[in-house]
Amino acid sequence: MQNYDVDILVSGGGVAGLTAAAVFGAAGFSVLCVDPTPPVTDRDAEGSDLRTTAFLQPAQALLEKAGLWQRVQADAAPLQIMRIVDAGGAQPEPRVVKDFNATDLSDLPFGWNLSNWLLRREFMARLNDLPNVEFRPGTGTKSVFTRDAMARVGLSDGSSVTCRLVIAADGRNSPVRNAMGIKVKTTRYGQKALAFAVTHPIPHENVSTEIHRSGGPFTLVPLPDYQGMPSSAVVWMERGPEAMRLASLAEDDFEAAMTERSCSLFGPLKLASRRSVWPIISQVADRMQGERVALVAEAAHVVPPIGAQGLNMSLGDMRVLLELAEAAPERLGDARMLDTYNRRRHAEVRARVAGIDLLNRASMLQSRPLRDLRAVGLNAIYSLAPVRKTMMQMGLGARG
Ligand SMILES: Cc1cc2nc3c(=O)[nH]c(=O)nc-3n(C[C@H](O)[C@H](O)[C@H](O)COP(=O)(O)OP(=O)(O)OC[C@H]3O[C@@H](n4cnc5c(N)ncnc54)[C@H](O)[C@@H]3O)c2cc1C
């Protein structure tokens, strides 16, 4: 049991919380980060996070400034082309294929894909190098008491923390958000995502492929080779019962099912990890700030995994918070700073959540005529070069 006095308490040590701790620690603020669940940092260990994060272009500068990019760049798979495939016809085969190429925007790839378990390992190592940052896995936030001038946070081990700013990065059921009485609007789709890694005989050539049929997209995102074979991370979204059925299939049957769902674009797919299942919702907090509290990442917004928006939006939150904190460090966590944070982030977050909600509903379509309409829509968007380019820029977060 200890009493801490720090600039910032980060509640939550998921990928977003660890990033926030490094971002503000590297900027010179004293930071304590807590999480009741110690991160699993070994790919094949029970409970490891088998999702990957496609960090889009704007993420790189922030991660570099925080000293995080340097630790992971050797393991990052570049994403040069985003391929959208509509396979919504009678047979599971591609009928519209459109490539969005990063060269249309700049010399850089759209982004880089990294495994979440590896991010946790490397981001934790970075926190160890920062003398002004302490990470305490195994300890959670228990109570939050705020005044105009400071916040006092009680921890699960009986310790108490006095700080100027609480960054709530404690996930979609955020205890800090609940303690502040901030409400959320939640949309449920009755859908789940299976996340796992595969190997395949046909190389991905740095193309991320999103295949739409019904039930949700089937997305393959490039990974570095695994055991000498080309490898991809897969996110397969389906209605809940179908996702659970797939998750419990014998390995051979599952491999046959996913190869068919992938339209065999990469040849026969082989499982290269466990299968993990994630519930899919959209959620937005009514506001992203409270007295001495900033909500970031899934504590503030949750989206279905389409277009790699989730964590990239969270980095957008941190970019704005950091900019405000560095512009006036003496006002860290005061009402003006947090009002500005909310004003600059909340409208954009709500617009993005609404956009992804629409894309997800289009991808879930069961009825053939509507699926046909979706294919027509994809063709139309693609054929207009300025629309195509704007969509790509918006996807990267370069345009609101
Ligand atoms: C299948 C799938 C694929 C995805 N792919 C991408 C992608 O390619 N690109 C992208 O940008 N995003 C992607 N996302 C979204 C991204 O994974 C999430 O945005 C991100 O992992 C959420 O991070 P988080 O840290 O906010 O939440 P979490 O990972 O849920 O972390 C919250 C943490 O808070 C902790 N916590 C809980 N209670 C307390 C407490 N009392 N005190 C302190 N801590 C507490 C929890 O233990 C947890 O570690 C994907 C999501 C899914 C489901």
Q: Could you give the CA distance from residue 398 to residue 400 in angstroms, rounded to a whole number? A: 7
Residue 237 Cβ contacting ligand 1 at under 6 Å: no
Q: Is 15 in the pocket of ligand 1 (CB under 6 A)?
A: yes
* Residue owning tokens 């395949």: 200
- Gap from CA of 115 to ligand 1 centroid (Å): 13
Count of CB atoms situated within 10 Å of the CB of 267: 14
Per-residue pLDDT at 396: 64
d(C-alpha 323, C-alpha 364), whole Å: 38
> Which residue in 183, 52, 154, 164 sits closest to 113, CA to CA?
52
Residue 400 pLDDT: 45
Contact 54, 31 (CB under 8 A): no
Residue-level pLDDT, tens digit, the chain, 400 residues: 789 999 999 999 999 999 999 999 999 999 999 999 988 888 888 888 888 998 988 899 999 999 999 999 999 999 999 898 888 777 878 888 888 888 888 888 889 999 999 999 999 999 999 999 999 999 999 999 999 999 999 999 999 999 999 999 999 999 999 999 999 999 999 999 999 999 999 999 999 998 988 778 899 999 999 999 999 999 999 999 999 999 999 999 999 999 999 999 999 999 999 999 999 999 999 999 999 999 999 999 999 988 777 899 999 999 999 999 999 999 999 999 999 999 999 999 999 898 888 887 877 766 666 777 667 666 666 666 666 666 666 666 655 4
CA 55 to CA 78: how far, in whole Å? 9
**How, if at all, do strands 31-35 and 77-79 pair?**
unpaired
Query: What is the H or E stretch that residue 260 is in?
Result: helix 251-261
Residue 307 Cβ inside 6 Å of ligand 1? The answer reads: no
Cα–ligand 1 centroid distance for 170 (angstroms): 8
Residue pair 191/237 in contact (Cβ under 8 Å)? The answer is: yes
DSSP 386: H
Whole-Å CA distances, 11 to 187, 297, 306 = 25, 12, 26
Pairing mode, strands 184-199 and 270-271: antiparallel
What is the CA(137)–ligand 1 centre distance, in A? 15
**How far does Cα 275 stand from its chain's mean position?**
18
Token digits of residue 360: 């997800």
CB of 395 shorter than 6 A to ligand 1: no
Model pTM score: 0.92
Mutate to test the pocket of ligand 1, among 10, 51, 277 (most ligand atoms within 8 A of CB): 51
